[in-house]
Structure 1
Amino acid sequence: MLFRVSSAAASAPAARLTPAVLVALGIVYVVWGSTYFGIKIAIGSLPPLGMLGIRFLGAGVILFAVLRLRGAAMPTARQWGASAVVGLLLLGGGTGLVTLAERDASSSVAAMVIAVSPLFAALFAQLWGERTGGREWLGIGVGLLGIALLNIGELHATPLAALLLILAPLCWTFGSQWSRHLPLPSGLMGSAAEMVTGGVLLLALSFIMGEKWGTPTAASLWALGYLILFGSLLAYSAYMYLVAHTRPALATSYAYVNPVVAVLLGVGFGSETLGTLGWVALGVILLGVILVAWPKKVPEVSSL
């Protein structure tokens, strides 16, 4: 599924849940929910920032090559610069900080803390004059209540990991909202340029921080391959489509569903546990995302 982002759509986000938006939401909800577990496996024998650099640079180069073969225009110097800004904020500050935090936090708690993203997105959207409706605020509040309930349970992180997980959505949501007002390449070329520049920046940070490379395990390599093809190439493109075509609260509503997927994987395949209160919290989280995602009653805007 290829998601084409048009400049017209970026200035007028869609109000209805069109088929393309629903597909993009499904991809981001499920695939990104699984990447927390994938990251945990990948950094078992790979350095965090270096692994991410390879992940995004690999996915970006693949997408860039395919688009160029299909006749897409080469980004201008100005567009490469804007892509580097977005790549640094989203991939370096957002995903990078989450990956560093997962050295001392479970994949489940990482996904749960990131669920504050819709709140930050709604706040940052005010900077560009976008309005968040009352039902969206209610959904955000309900979702955060679910996160609070979930964190009362057995899943905890160290203070440093918790700080990194709070800073990560700040970088991610600010970069997401700012990206709608930057001169980025059109369509999927924007995603490709952001991943290429973000990957290069992450590899540079890995070198500066002196990360050590050892012999990776087969499990880490398989996890890295999954993160490249699905977590980055597919899901990141779907997310940027949502950023351009939907309301901020809906575009970031993945943060309420990702914990459900992450917890199920952590409990099913990892050593994490979840009690009765945790499962109740997941139900509250799902209620929050329904409130956020429910379309507004305004004229339809085409997403294609």
Structure 2
Amino acid sequence: MTKPPTVEDVARLADVSRQTVSNVLNAPDVVKAATRERVQRAISELGYRPHTAARALRTRRSSTIGIHLDPYAGGVSGVVLDRFVHALTERAGERGMRVLLYAARTPEEELERMRELVERGEIDAIVLTGTFHGDPRAHWLLARDVPFVAFGRPWGEDDVDAPAHLWVDVDGAAGVRAATRHARRSVEDRVAFLGWPSGSGTGDDRERGWREEMHAPGLRLVAEEDVAQARAVVAAALADGEAVDAIVCASDTLAIGARLAATAAGREDLEVIGFDNTPAAEALGLSSVEQLPEQVAEGVLGLLMGETGSSVVARPATAGSAHVLVEPRLVLR
């Protein structure tokens, strides 16, 4: 059986001291860029992985990132978070970190679970998902100086120039803007938007992309995240004779409902574009905006650990470096 590579092996190959290798792993900012790159090449070439248990004893860190596992609720769009958690776990493992999933059915229960994990020293940082206006989880973590990054912006008045905390998000407005632009190439201004009721940060952001791309006011339809309700709303609009030749939707769930309504009304020509690029949209041949959750995972780890670091580094939410905005891509079918 081949002996796994050690810190000494990395130091020898990179022609540096053992302490320099340790600094690259635990405090990369103190190492010169050229030296850091040489050590990283040696780590990659040897396939070296830091020993998590030994590092925990030495640094009093758990080498673990906690993330809430959302309750299973069925539906179409849960696959996006599944892909994100999978990518986060895989990429964290490449940096010698683990991901701990914890369950909670209510915000109050989640706060209690976070408190237990932090007080017991079981995690070094937390990744929040499903952020919303006035999120109490973010306030709790900020008050206790617990390192965290949110998948989802703080939804404050200015999340970029005056960020409340570190965050990574998908540029929903850019994705819907691209979808609307594509639709307008063939139907000009007869592009409707099917979104959620106003007040959802994510939904309002996606709707903004549609409004910015349209040169004239268009038809705005509203439905909850439900296929049957989306189908009924679109069916009613078509029955009323609304002039619409394309519908851009805030999610694939809404898009599926819109497609079913168009088919039932004999409007096979009606272009429907979703958001999330789920397997369901692919199976139905629907164009959709893909969020690229793997890039979100990279952004989260970059903010938590630095570009190549192997441990959590606390950093302030400084304008210009506190967020990563991932631009999604339009997948046409």
Scaled by the length of structure 2, what TM-score is found? 0.22
Over alpha carbons, which structure has the higher Rg? 2
Scaled by the length of structure 1, what TM-score is found? 0.24
If asked which structure has higher relative contact order (CA below 8 Å, sep 6+), I would say: 1
Higher strand content, 1 or 2: 2
Higher helix content, 1 or 2: 1
